[in-house]
Amino acid sequence: MPKVTEAHRTARRDEIIGAALRCFAAKGYQRTSMADVIEESGLSAGAIYGYFAGKQELFAAVAGRVLAARQVDLEEQRAHGEALPPGVVMATLLDGMRREPFSHVIVQLWAEAAVDPEMGELVQGVLARVRETVRQRLVEWATAEPGRVDGDPEAWATRVAPVVLGVAPGFMIQRAIVPDFDEEAFLAALPEVLPH
Q: How far is CA 29 from the centre of its chain?
A: 15
More confident residue, 150 or 115: 115
CA distance 29 to 128: 20
128-168: pLDDT as tens digits? 988 999 999 999 999 998 888 888 999 999 999 999 999 99
User: Model's pTM, two decimal places?
Assistant: 0.81
Report whether CATH 1.10.3720 matches the domain 55-193: no
Label residues 145-154 b or e (16+ Cβ within 10 Å = b): eeeebeeebe
* pLDDT digit string, tens, across residues 159-194: 999 999 999 999 999 998 999 999 999 999 999 998
